[in-house]
Structure 1
Amino acid sequence: MKTWNGSDLEQIGGAEELALRSERGDGSLRDPVTMWVVRAGDQLYVRSVKGTDGPWYRGTRSRHQGRVEAGGVRQEVAFREADPGVYTRVDAAYRDKYGRYPDIVQHVLTDRARASTLRLEPR
């Protein structure tokens, strides 16, 4: 597993939103999707409100890689399924970072959303 350098981890993890582009089977990038991103420890995570049925999540499953942009950083990434053991830490990160939006943040804390938790790994 590759690790984030400190600067990119800080910039992306601290950004309010992230633009995610997954790769199609032919290697071209899909249109960007804007979403929330959280940092838990030295890792970055995203979730789909619609769970594993969410269109952008399904798009990450074809090649398990793509590109993210946030906080002035553009990075090629691999999308890795998160270990369920980190869900509680990721939940806490969402609450801490986005708790000022209580009516919205609750949607990324459901079992359905948790099942779609992806760890972003630099490549």
Structure 2
Amino acid sequence: MADWNSAGLEKITAAEELDLASEQANGTLRDPVTMWVVRSGGQLYVRSVKGSDGPWYRGTQSRRQGRIEAGGVGQDVTFRSADPDEYAGVDAAYREKYGHYPSIVEHVLTEGARASTLRLEPR
């Protein structure tokens, strides 16, 4: 696993939203989807509000690669399923960063959303 460049990690972490485009079977990128992104420790994470049924989430599962853009940073990434022991830190990061949207943030804290937690690894 490659490590994030610290300046890029900070810029992405500070961004309110992230654009994520997953790679299709033919190697081209799908249209990007805008979503929330959080940092827990030195890692970046995203979740699907619709859990594993979310269309963008399903798209990440075929090749497990794609591209993200946030805070002026573009990065090719690998999508790794987070381990359940990472969920608590990710939950806390969502509450801290997006807690000013209380009726919305609760949707990324459900069991279904937790099960769709992806760690974004630079490649």
TM over 0.5: yes
Q: Does 1:6 align with 2:6?
A: yes
1:33-52 aligned within 5 A: 33-52=33-52
Q: SS at the partner of 2:62?
A: coil
- Give the Å deviation of 1:119: 0.2
Structure 2: how far apart are the matches of 1:68 and 1:104? 22
Structure 2: how far apart are the matches of 1:13 and 1:120? 12
Structure 1: how far apart are the matches of 2:28 and 2:5? 26
1:1-123 aligned within 5 A: 1-123=1-123
Structure 2: how far apart are the matches of 1:99 and 1:65? 29
Structure 2: how far apart are the matches of 1:118 and 1:65? 11
Unpaired runs of at least 5, structure 2: none
RMSD: 0.4
Unpaired runs of at least 5, structure 1: none
Structure 2: how far apart are the matches of 1:83 and 1:7? 26
Structure 2: how far apart are the matches of 1:78 and 1:109? 23
TM-score of the aligned structures, taking structure 2 as reference length: 0.99
Count matched residues. Answer: 123
Identity among equivalent positions (%) equals 72
